[in-house]
Structure 1
Amino acid sequence: MDDTYQVIVVGGGFAGMTAAKELGRKGVSVLLIDSNSYHQFQPLLYQVATSQIGVSAIARPLRSIFRRLSRVRVLTADVATFDAANHTVTTADGDTFRAEILVLAVGAVPNFFNTAGADEYAFPLYSVTDATRLGSKLTQLLDEADGEPAGTVDVVVVGGGPTGVETAGAMAENVKFVVPKFYSPELAARCHVHLVDMIPTVLNAFSTNLQEYTKKRLNKIGVQLHLGVGVSEVRADGVTLADGTVIPSRAVVWAGGLKAGEIFAGSGLTQGRGGRIDVRPDLTAPDVEGVYVLGDAANMTDSTGTKLPQLGSVAQQAGKWAARNIYADLNGGERRPFEYFDKGYMAMIGRGAAVAEIGRKRIPLQGPFAFVSWLLVHLALLSGFQQKVRALFSWLNGYVTHSPAQVVVGRPE
């Protein structure tokens, strides 16, 4: 054993970062371990991939976040295994750490649902690395097509949820506004964006009216919808749909769902839907004591038993609530069931267009007002003043001048 802490938090995403911050403020000794040295704002990864904002707007160094919390130590390392029963974590370097309480906020990995070729050829969008890799690929394809008289760029986005809709909308608007300005109108006419989902609609969690608005808006900006049909195969040169339709594409974006990573195998924790851990109402693991599982790694419910979606706002609130319960554990108090404050759902469709359902009563918004609300909410949620300023400047510059906010360096292959 190398070190002992009161709490070890594995994962620096919304849930893990929030839990560590709250505990550090209460004077609890915390070790925060993440494979990356930064916290990433996942809801805006698609904007990095489509050059609407730069990486520095959504990625903030973890040590910067915790610089004033002396009780929180940040360790950049890959976690190889953990022992839930003994509250130990072992890194890929062989270092082992033990704590009184273990918090697992390890995130998730793309779920390709055993689709042939998807793991090899599709571009997931779950990390900064994913976003920059996809952005590099799109730039490469445009540059190559620009040098060919009949060159085309076809992009297929798989998944009609918020990530898929936002990604397809951003790409289509780049084709409409950016490609004609920085390449040529002729190339723009040869670029196509496709959105595929086996469900016969988009944004399944939203009301029918907002779904219809979203489909009309996507059609208006040039997104070709293939709904009610799944993807049977992904290849280097395109996808084949379940009905036999073949869509040529060298850039297939996978926004089709997430599942828990392999790290839970052999951990001693029973896995539920999507490989996640079905946590108790107080956010603890059901199999052992002193272990909390948060964020995309957990299947969470609120105090009424309602299943909660895999959203950043859920993870953030869960991290804060878990910190309260952990503090109670350490000081002889009682845990309380997680009470989630439902803020609703939002999805950006493009410049001046978004949809939202606000609060528990799901007050519907669409169009420019929802667009402004989306901007303000995401600006407020960004971690760090510098990140907020960079995002705001990029949005103002991009939406007014239709200019890319970042330069993509490197090649994806």
Structure 2
Amino acid sequence: MDDTSQVIVVGGGFAGMTAAEELGRKGIQVLLIDANNYHQFQPLLYQVAASQIGVSAVARPLRSVFRGIKGVRVLTAEVTAIDAAARAVTTADGSRYQARILVIAAGAVPNFFNTPGAEEHAYPLYSVADATRLSAALTGVLDTADRGQAGNADVVVVGGGPTGVETAGALAENVKYLVPKYFSPELAARCHVHLVDMVPRVLMAFSAKSQEYTRDRLGKLGVQLHMGQGVTDVRADGVTLADGTVIPARIVVWAGGLQAGKIITESGLPQGKGGRIDVLPDLTAPGVDGVYVLGDAANITDAAGAKLPQLGSVAQQSGKWAARNIYADLTGGTRRPFAYWDKGYMAMVGRGAAVAELGRKRIQLQGPLAFVSWLGVHLALLPGFQQKARALSSWAAGYVTHSPSQVVVGRPD
């Protein structure tokens, strides 16, 4: 039992880390619990998988984040159960921690939508471990194909949202530039990247102009699009689509959506879409006192009542806003409904190419200008000077020389 913390934060992602940082700077005693001892920058995990940047650019030790904030204690432990009514959590070693306020920012897990074989054979891309595992597998497939032990080295990416588009584009660029250079043109001719989704268009949340640009750019990179066709099963040697089409593939990347994890679904809190908690306008969980749910664990609405997407900007802003409301709880103030600042959407579609729709008015950018904007925004969001410097160095080296910036160390299995 922890008797010194006023607030317990479960999860060190965008939402949890921001909430803990804001509260700690106000002198609130916070216990931050995460299964990992680092914060991971999820928007760039696909670049780790494609060997464009290294793990050290996207992972920052949590204790270094809070080094100058004495009120925040970091505990590396897996939370296995939540008692929302008591504002308490239990960790894997049986320890129980309780505080006046509980913040649940535990993130999410991949949603395979009960697709047969997907959980067993597909590679999700939601964590550093996922990215390094996929990166090693991709390298292993190329090495095996180069020895003539496989007919192709095709990859299927499931999911036409930003993660799927960015992953497919990065892998297709590797096929176009790196495989001929470091293996052979013959092997490159046997490598294909497929992008599959049951929805009819890529980047459904974007404008028709951005969608058209993205389709054209992916086509020029060699990505084969299979839109409007869901995946009915995933196997070790490929996938089957709803129309019966079989796509042989050595690797299937799953970017098809997220859902709440086990500790959320077993928390006893009322769940909404994706198993997430439908929070109240002030970001508290309905039906209990002193419990906030943030980030990918929550369904958060804007001032008009529309549900916000699972984006890093939503998580980060919700963490900051929740910290203000929690401080009000602890000091006798008044909570305020969450007011989201809509910064828009972005997606990279290969080197020098991106789409961006900025702000509530959705100012549209495509091509190099959107690409520069994408670089600037992601560089600014990266936590820590060292992470920014490493990412910038890797981008400069990789985009200028078309060479892999990182060495992949790991076993394909």
- With the shorter chain as reference, the TM-score category is over 0.9
In structure 1, the residue matched to 2:92 is 92
Q: By how many angstroms is 1:367 displaced? A: 0.4
Please provide the CA RMSD for this pair. 0.9
Q: By how many angstroms is 1:264 displaced? A: 1.9
User: Is residue 203 of structure 1 aligned with residue 203 of structure 2?
Assistant: yes
Q: By how many angstroms is 1:303 displaced? A: 2.4
Q: Secondary structure of 1:17's partner? A: helix
Tell me the amino acid that sits aligned with residue 200 of structure 2.
P
User: Is residue 67 of structure 1 aligned with residue 67 of structure 2?
Assistant: yes
Distance (Å, rounded) in 2 between the aligned partners of 1:159 and 1:350: 17
In structure 2, the residue matched to 1:286 is 286
Unaligned regions of 5+ residues in structure 1, if any? Answer: none
Distance (Å, rounded) in 1 between the aligned partners of 2:262 and 2:150: 44
Distance (Å, rounded) in 1 between the aligned partners of 2:265 and 2:190: 46
Deviations 1:111-138 (A, max 9, x none): 0000000010000000000000000000
Contact preservation (8 Å) 2:264, 2:297:
no
Q: By how many angstroms is 1:305 displaced? A: 1.5
User: Is residue 132 of structure 1 aligned with residue 127 of structure 2?
Assistant: no
Contact preservation (8 Å) 1:8, 1:103:
yes
Q: By how many angstroms is 1:412 displaced? A: 3.2
Distance (Å, rounded) in 2 between the aligned partners of 1:270 and 1:248: 41
Q: By how many angstroms is 1:184 displaced? A: 1.1
In structure 2, the residue matched to 1:243 is 243
Tell me the amino acid that sits aligned with residue 275 of structure 2.
G
Distance (Å, rounded) in 1 between the aligned partners of 2:95 and 2:372: 47
Q: Secondary structure of 2:389's partner? A: helix
User: Is residue 397 of structure 1 aligned with residue 397 of structure 2?
Assistant: yes
Distance (Å, rounded) in 1 between the aligned partners of 2:181 and 2:150: 18
In structure 2, the residue matched to 1:173 is 173
Q: By how many angstroms is 1:304 displaced? A: 2.5
Tell me the amino acid that sits aligned with residue 80 of structure 2.
A
Tell me the amino acid that sits aligned with residue 25 of structure 1.
R
- Map residues 11-410 of structure 1 onto 2, 5 A cutoff: 11-148=11-148, 151-410=151-410
Runs of 4+ in 1 over 4 A off after TM superposition: none
Deviations 1:141-170 (A, max 9, x none): 001111118742000000000000000000
Deviations 1:168-215 (A, max 9, x none): 000000000111111111111110000000011000000011101100
Distance (Å, rounded) in 2 between the aligned partners of 1:118 and 1:149: 25
Tell me the amino acid that sits aligned with residue 101 of structure 2.
I
Q: By how many angstroms is 1:3 displaced? A: 3.7
Contact preservation (8 Å) 1:144, 1:151:
no
Deviations 1:252-297 (A, max 9, x none): 0000000001112332211111000000000000020100000000
Tell me the amino acid that sits aligned with residue 277 of structure 1.
I
Contact preservation (8 Å) 2:2, 2:99:
no
Tell me the amino acid that sits aligned with residue 299 of structure 1.
N
Distance (Å, rounded) in 1 between the aligned partners of 2:82 and 2:258: 21
Tell me the amino acid that sits aligned with residue 313 of structure 1.
S
Contact preservation (8 Å) 1:268, 1:287:
no
Distance (Å, rounded) in 2 between the aligned partners of 1:171 and 1:3: 49
Q: Secondary structure of 2:39's partner? A: strand
TM-score normalised to structure 1 length? 0.99
Distance (Å, rounded) in 1 between the aligned partners of 2:2 and 2:303: 38
Contact preservation (8 Å) 2:347, 2:354:
yes
Q: Secondary structure of 1:5's partner? A: coil
Q: Secondary structure of 1:107's partner? A: coil
Contact preservation (8 Å) 1:136, 1:411:
yes
TM-score normalised to structure 2 length? 0.99
Residues 155-164 or 396-405, more deviating:
396-405
